[in-house]
């Protein structure tokens, strides 16, 4: 398996699109309103909006620079629009019409002919023919004027250096004042028969098609609400993802709102999903189905805090709400609150109804349901509904990271039973709409199996989730995966399997994610974690998540499996001191005319050649040697050799945990490679002898590590900053036969002549 990060397109496949292609428009807007853009035809798009405030304004945006697609799939930046003539049919309802003040305006942002930043405001009505709500708009960017009334207020546009342009959409009832509308306004606008003509009408676009590989992709509406579904799915398809897409419906853009006490709160008035969200997801589901994708609809217990009813929130013992670290934060819904859980059940049913209407097999994920734990260890088990469910006056747990008494443990068990019951009710609500639905549960292992809070699993991985409560158990561990902590992953997966009983074939794994672009180096460990999960045999492995894949230019590809290059077996003939050992180096030496030399070491470390023929002492040894040579197909496959002169970290055969310095702890790194130093030269040890490795941190021996393939130590917990990490070990040398033929003569052997059996060390680091 392999991966690469692309920052820009090179010589990969490309195509062309018409500038203003409907797939590549975006929307933007302020909270609390909501808008979405979808493509309704190859030359048409539609914007749906829900407006709550008298100053709400949505923008339908075209950008000169593609900031959203994968670098291999983005369109070329071209800021000069002077060679473009744009025309389209405009239709709208519920938004201000073309002819009124504050009606649709094309705002153009860029620089003038002198390079000074400025904006122009092109009133679409000045370039329209038809009625205020149904007209054909035609704009020649070589000679277009801003201004409300033309020609008297004409402001000539310089379209040669443009960053972006957007059409503004205001609701009926818009005043620009800081006030609520009398009632929410649903509006829409359509641009159809979009045509762009002229020498600047075509853009180059990346069209690479990554071969289908074995990974699936996850995405989220909160990160992609501003894009068209067609654009999002184009990226997934071209990057080689197939099968199911896990689509997290998010926590901040799907709901309807109602005004109350000076704020807006989630509501079921008029339906479950807001009109813009529903339109986007209907388009998404239909297009996913047409492209052969399945969709796993994911819903969590999180809700945008600003719009969450106060009594729905989980709370700590002092009444503080359980809020995530996102900015702005989300709140965690209490599994004990009937209103909160009833709301989630209706949301789930609304989304699976969209899936069914699109002809998709219904698959649903309950995403990361848990009782929130504050950074200082206080669990949020004390909202009013939870306290009532737990007897009215539940015992305080000051920290789940401290020793707990029997009453506190019993409270965690009660909380776990409550959480399990809420998830099972959500499962059943989905199946009330779609009886054959496959329902999955996603658990985030670093939190629910926090080693610093070993009893927390009573509440956050309750036994009520045990198989067959759900069809599939989905596991993610991005804190561990991104840092390469494979030992923690292995322990967490094993613990979840033991506790809940889902075999590996009934598991999914989520690898990811990279939160910040400056941490893109974490993709190496994430890609490795995905490969490890596939090797483990999970039913599906997902990369979390598509927005970060696009941002960082991540591409995964499967490689053909190599012929087994190494057999992890020891050379069968015991070597005596007669064996020949010959370390070799490669040195480039340049001698000047005056006899001075310049020497350069071509290799970082020596490579050893062996002749093990003198170790062959009997006809039984010859037979074993010949059979071993055939089994290795001569030099084709490597094997282990125990070097008779150098096979331990210390002097002679001695092994002590302080023998070799592997590195210095930094409080974050958990993985250290075994090495043996020879002066200033270090030799990577990739074939340690099983059971021989001893490890110390600052001189204190520890068992808190796992030995991974390739001689890689992975600590359970990262060694503290400044600590010395050392190890002792025995090791074998990876070698191969040096020649394609092996010649042994029985007569000369019986006469005392040893055969020649040359071997050569393999580089594995």
Per residue in 26-44, pLDDT (tens digit) is: 999 999 999 999 999 999 9
Place of tokens 């394609």: 740
Under 8 Å CB-to-CB from 589, ≥6 apart: which residues?
597, 598, 599, 600
How large is the average pLDDT for residues 89-100?
A: 98
Q: Which helix (H) or strand (E) holds 290?
A: helix 275-290
Look at residue 709 in the predicted model and tell me its pLDDT: 86
Q: 7 pLDDT exceeds 90?
A: yes
Taking only the tens place, the pLDDT of each residue in 427-451 is 999 999 999 999 999 999 999 999 9
Q: Give 142-198 as a DSSP string.
A: TS-EEBSSTTTT-EE--TTSEEEEEEEE-BTT---SSSEEEEEEEEEEEEEEEEEES
User: Would you say residue 142 has pLDDT above 80?
Assistant: yes
For residues 204 and 212, what is the distance between their CA atoms, to the nearest angstrom?
Answer: 24
- The whole-number pLDDT of residue 172 equals 96
| Residue 302 near residue 324, CB atoms below 8 Å | yes
CA distance 257 to 255: 6
Q: List CB contacts of 410: < 8 A, sequence separation 6 or more.
A: none
Judge if 2-7+16-206 and 216-472+544-552 fold alike in CATH terms: no
Least confident of 92-96, 322-326, 348-352, 679-683: 679-683
The DSSP secondary-structure symbol of 22 reads G
pLDDT, residue 595, reads 78
DSSP 8-class letter at 134 = E
Instruction: Give the end-to-end CA distance of the chain in Å, rounded to a whole number.
Output: 17
Residue 458 has pLDDT above 60, yes or no: yes
Sign, CA dihedral 251-257-258-260, equals positive
- Is residue 552 scored above 90 in pLDDT? yes
Residue 30 to residue 271: CA distance in whole angstroms: 22
pLDDT at 708: 87
Asked if residues 279 and 36 have their Cβ atoms less than 8 Å apart, the reply is yes
Report the C-alpha gap between 686 and 715 in whole angstroms: 17
Closest CA relative to residue 221, chosen from 267, 252, 243, 266:
252
Tokens of 134: 């149904």
Tally the C-alpha atoms within 13 A of residue 333's C-alpha that lie toward its C-beta.
Answer: 27
The percentage of the chain sitting over the pLDDT mark of 70, rounded to a whole number, equals 98
Q: What is the pLDDT of residue 382?
A: 98
- pLDDT tens column, 34-80: 999 999 999 999 999 999 999 999 999 999 999 999 999 999 999 99
Is residue 711 within 8 A of residue 734, CB to CB? The reply is no
Residue 596's pLDDT band (cuts 50, 70, 90): confident
The pair of structure tokens assigned to 219 is 């995405």
The string of DSSP codes covering 732-764 is -EEEEESSS-----HHHHHTTPPPP-EEEEPP-
Assign 43 to helix, strand or coil.
Answer: coil
Give the 3-state secondary structure of residue 230. Answer: helix
Distance, in Å, from the CA atom of 429 to the CA atom of 431, rounded to the nearest integer, reads: 5
If residue 482 lies in a helix (H) or strand (E), which one and from where to where? Answer: helix 478-483
Cα–Cα distances in angstroms (integers) from residue 703 to residues 198, 490, 661, 729, in the given order = 71, 16, 17, 14
Q: Which of 440, 346, 49 is nearest to 225 (CA)?
A: 49
Contact between residue 131 and residue 100 where contact means Cβ atoms under 8 Å apart: no
pLDDT over 90 for what percent of the chain? Answer: 84
Rounded-to-integer distance, Cα 29 and Cα 723, Å: 51
Mean pLDDT, rounded, for 691-719: 92
Cα–Cα dist 527/539, whole Å: 17
Q: In this structure, are residues 202 and 17 in contact, taking their beta carbons and an 8 Å threshold?
A: yes
- Render pLDDT for 251-292 as a digit per residue (tens, 0 to 9): 999 999 999 999 999 999 999 999 999 999 999 999 999 999
Q: What is the mean pLDDT of residues 379-395?
A: 98
Judged against a pLDDT cut of 80, whether residue 578 lies above it is answered with: no
CB 344 within 8 A of CB 426: yes
Question: What rounded mean pLDDT belongs to the chain?
Answer: 94
Phi, then psi, of 295 in degrees rounded to 5? -125, 130
Rg of the chain over Cα atoms, rounded to whole angstroms, equals: 33
Tokens 């059996």 identify what position? 757
Does residue 529 register a pLDDT over 70? yes
| Element of type H or E holding 498 | helix 486-500
pLDDT of residue 616: 78
Confidence of residue 564 (pLDDT cuts 50, 70, 90): low
Buried b (16+ CB within 10 A) or exposed e, 245-255: bbbbbbbbbbb
Phi-psi region of 228 (alpha: psi -120 to 50; beta: other; left: phi over 0): beta
Q: Which two tokens stand for residue 324?
A: 């995530």
Confidence (pLDDT) at 751: 45
**CB contact at 8 A, 475 and 492:** yes
Any idea which residue has 């896990």 for tokens? Answer: 246
- List the 733-737 sheet strands across, edge first: 566-570, 638-641, 733-737, 758-761, 607-611, 580-584
Q: Give the domain 216-472+544-552 fold.
A: TIM Barrel (3.20.20)
Decide if pLDDT at 752 tops 50.
Answer: no
Specify the length of the chain in residues. 765
Nearest to 631 by CA among 562, 566, 709: 566
- Please report the pLDDT score of residue 121 as a whole number: 98
Q: pLDDT: is 607 or 126 the higher one?
A: 126
pLDDT at position 560, please?
A: 64
Gap between the Cα atoms of 196 and 633, Å rounded: 64
| CA 182 to centroid of chain Cα atoms | 42
Q: Where are the domains of the chain?
A: 2-7+16-206, 216-472+544-552, 566-645+735-761, 660-731
Q: Place 233 in a pLDDT band, splitting at 50, 70 and 90.
A: very high
Q: Please, which pLDDT band fits residue 1 given cuts at 50, 70 and 90?
A: low
Q: Give rounded-to-5 percent helix, strand, coil for the chain.
A: 25, 35, 40
State the DSSP H helix or E strand holding residue 487, giving kind and residue range, or none if neither.
helix 486-500
For domain 2-7+16-206, which architecture applies? Sandwich (2.60)
> Is 730:688 a contact under the CB 8 Å cutoff?
yes
In 358-468, alpha helices (H): 384-389, 406-433, 445-448, 457-460
Residue with tokens 């019986």: 750
Distances in Å between the alpha carbon of 235 and those of 47, 65, 73? 21, 17, 7
Structure tokens at 23: 């797939």
When pLDDT is averaged across residues 338-353 and rounded to a whole number, the result is 98
């Amino acid at each position: 398996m392999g991966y690469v990060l692309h920052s820009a397109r090179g010589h990969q496949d490309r195509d062309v699109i018409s500038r203003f292609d409907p797939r590549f428009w975006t929307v933007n807007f302020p909270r609390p309103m909501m808008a979405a853009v979808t493509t309704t035809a190859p030359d048409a798009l539609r914007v749906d909006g829900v407006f709550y405030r008298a100053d709400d304004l949505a923008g339908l945006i075209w950008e000169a620079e593609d900031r959203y697609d994968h670098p291999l799939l983005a369109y070329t930046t071209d800021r000069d629009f002077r060679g473009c003539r744009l025309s389209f049919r405009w239709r709208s309802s519920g938004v201000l019409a073309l002819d009124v003040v504050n009606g649709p305006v094309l705002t153009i942002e860029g620089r003038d002919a002198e390079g000074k930043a400025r904006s122009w405001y092109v009133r679409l009505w000045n370039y329209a023919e038809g009625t205020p709500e149904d007209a054909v708009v035609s704009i020649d960017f070589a000679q277009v004027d801003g201004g409300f009334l033309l020609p008297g207020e004409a402001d000539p546009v310089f379209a040669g250096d443009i960053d972006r342009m957007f059409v503004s959409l205001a609701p009926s009832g818009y005043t620009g004042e800081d006030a609520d509308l009398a009632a929410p306004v649903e509006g829409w606008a359509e641009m159809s028969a979009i045509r762009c003509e002229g020498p600047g009408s075509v853009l180059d676009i990346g069209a690479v098609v990554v071969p289908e590989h074995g990974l699936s992709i996850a995405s989220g509406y909160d990160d992609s609400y501003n894009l068209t579904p067609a654009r999002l799915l184009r990226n997934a398809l071209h990057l080689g993802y197939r099968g199911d897409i896990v689509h997290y419906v998010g926590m901040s853009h799907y709901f309807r709102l109602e005004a109350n006490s000076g704020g807006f709160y989630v509501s079921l008035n008029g339906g479950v999903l807001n009109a813009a969200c529903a339109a986007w997801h209907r388009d998404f589901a239909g297009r996913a189905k047409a492209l052969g994708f399945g969709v796993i609809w994911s819903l969590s217990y999180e809700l945008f805090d600003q719009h969450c009813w106060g009594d729905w929130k989980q709370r700590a013992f002092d009444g503080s709400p359980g809020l995530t670290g996102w900015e702005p934060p989300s709140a965690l819904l209490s599994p004990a609150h009937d209103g909160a859980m009833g709301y989630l059940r209706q949301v789930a049913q609304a989304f699976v109804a969209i899936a069914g209407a699109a002809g998709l097999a219904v698959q649903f994920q309950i995403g990361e349901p848990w009782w929130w734990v504050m950074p200082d260890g206080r669990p949020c088990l004390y909202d009013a509904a939870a306290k009532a469910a737990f007897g009215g006056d539940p015992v305080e747990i000051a920290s789940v990271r401290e020793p707990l008494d029997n009453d506190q443990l019993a409270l965690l068990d009660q909380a776990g039973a409550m959480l399990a019951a809420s998830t099972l009710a959500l499962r059943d609500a989905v199946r009330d709409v779609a009886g054959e639905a496959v329902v999955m549960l996603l658990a985030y292992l670093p939190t629910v199996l926090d080693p610093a809070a070993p009893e927390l699993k009573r509440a956050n991985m309750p036994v009520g989730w045990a198989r067959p409560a759900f069809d599939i158990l989905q596991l993610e561990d991005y804190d561990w995966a991104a840092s390469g902590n494979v030992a923690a992953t292995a322990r967490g997966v094993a613990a979840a399997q033991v506790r809940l009983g889902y075999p590996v074939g009934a598991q999914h794994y989520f690898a990811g994610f990279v939160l910040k672009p400056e941490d893109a180096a974490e993709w190496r460990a994430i890609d490795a974690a995905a490969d490890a999960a596939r090797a483990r045999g999970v039913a599906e492995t997902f990369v979390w998540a598509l927005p970060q894949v696009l941002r960082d230019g991540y591409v995964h590809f499967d490689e053909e499996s190599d012929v087994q290059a190494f057999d992890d077996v020891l050379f069968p003939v015991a070597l005596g001191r007669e064996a020949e050992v010959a370390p070799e180096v490669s040195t480039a030496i340049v001698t000047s005319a005056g006899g001075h030399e310049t020497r350069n070491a071509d290799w970082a470390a020596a490579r050893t050649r062996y002749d093990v023929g003198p170790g062959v002492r009997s006809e039984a040894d010859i037979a074993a040697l010949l059979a071993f040579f055939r089994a290795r197909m001569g030099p084709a496959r490597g094997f282990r050799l125990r070097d008779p002169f150098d096979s331990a970290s210390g002097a002679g055969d001695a092994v002590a945990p302080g023998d070799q310095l592997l590195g210095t702890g930094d409080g974050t790194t958990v993985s250290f490679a075994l090495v043996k130093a020879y002066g200033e030269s270090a030799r990577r040890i990739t074939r340690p002898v099983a059971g021989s490795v001893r490890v110390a941190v600052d001189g204190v021996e520890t068992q808190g590590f796992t030995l991974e393939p390739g001689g890689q130590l992975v600590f359970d917990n990262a060694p503290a900053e400044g600590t010395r990490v050392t190890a002792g070990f025995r090791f074998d040398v990876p070698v191969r036969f040096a020649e394609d033929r092996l010649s042994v003569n029985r007569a000369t052997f019986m006469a005392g002549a040893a055969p020649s059996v040359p071997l050569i060390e393999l580089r594995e680091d």
